[in-house]
Amino acid sequence: MTPVLDDSFICDSVPAEFMDRLWAAGWRHFGRYFFRYSTQPDRAADCTQTITPLRINLASCTFTKSQRRVLRKNAGLRHDIVSARLDDELRAMFMSHKERFTHNVPEALEDFLGPDPQNGPCECRMLRVFEKGRLIAASFFDVGQQAASSVYGIFDPGSARRSPGILTMLLEIEHCRAAGLRWLYPGYATHESSAYDYKKQFHSLEKLDWATGEWLKSAPA
């Protein structure tokens, strides 16, 4: 039986090694606000969903055939990774990106990253993807001592055919593995079917058992 958790705290600065411990215990954060919860209501389906924190073992992770296809399709694009910072170009892309949502529509990038992500509470990096010099996708991920955690991703809806959301996740995995990190936390999915099911498709995936605090191997969905 899944225990009901709904915990939070506010913190301005967290050392890298302690971020690793927080992620391993199911915590996430948006700016200074740290939180973890084990269930959430699904008003559209009139039910309660069970939150399932996920992590990827970077050393043993291999990409599926469809994931490799995404990388090949986008091999001609340029990307870079820099310290996270917000600007008008990113905010404009976010406004276009959020039009895809019909439920729980986010208000602003700052809701996920805080007003000044380059200044904490932990190290936050930004992956940017360009097509012929034009920014078409960006994702943000935090970096600890041995792990990293995906925070949020956005893309130009006009480039959806390129599967940019999957692409940025794959590039994050490659970057973190090359940096010698052990884990990448891609956020969470739910035990029930949801829009987050694409996160269940990665190899070397583990899920957190809220009852025991242990991470269990999970076969790709």
| Distance (Å, whole) CA 17 – CA 24 | 11
* Number of folded domains that form the chain: 1
**Residue 75 domain-assigned (yes or no):** yes
Percent of all residues in the chain with a pLDDT value above 70, rounded to a whole number = 94
Q: What is the CATH number of the domain that holds 119?
A: 3.40.630.30
Q: Which long-range contacts (CB under 8 A, 24 or more apart) does 158-162 make?
A: 159/131, 162/70, 162/73, 162/74, 162/77, 162/136
**Residue 1 domain-assigned (yes or no):** no
Q: Give me the domain span that covers residue 116.
A: 6-218
**Residue 62 domain-assigned (yes or no):** yes
Contact call for residues 114 and 32 (beta carbons, < 8 A): yes
Confidence of residue 2 (pLDDT cuts 50, 70, 90): confident
Q: Is the pLDDT assigned to residue 217 strictly greater than 80?
A: yes
**Residue 97 domain-assigned (yes or no):** yes
| Distance (Å, whole) CA 67 – CA 72 | 9
Query: 41-79 pLDDT, tens per residue?
Result: 776 656 788 899 999 999 999 999 999 999 999 999 999
Query: 143-193 pLDDT, tens per residue?
Result: 999 999 999 999 999 999 999 999 999 999 999 999 999 999 998 888 777
Distances (CA, A) of 60 to 18, 63, 159, 174: 24, 10, 30, 12
Name which of 20-24, 46-50, 217-221 the model is least confident about.
217-221
**Residue 213 domain-assigned (yes or no):** yes
Which pLDDT value is given to residue 99? 82
Confidence of residue 102 (pLDDT cuts 50, 70, 90): low
Provide mean pLDDT across the span 12-41.
Answer: 95
Backbone angles phi, psi at 21, to 5 degrees: -70, -40
Confidence of residue 40 (pLDDT cuts 50, 70, 90): confident
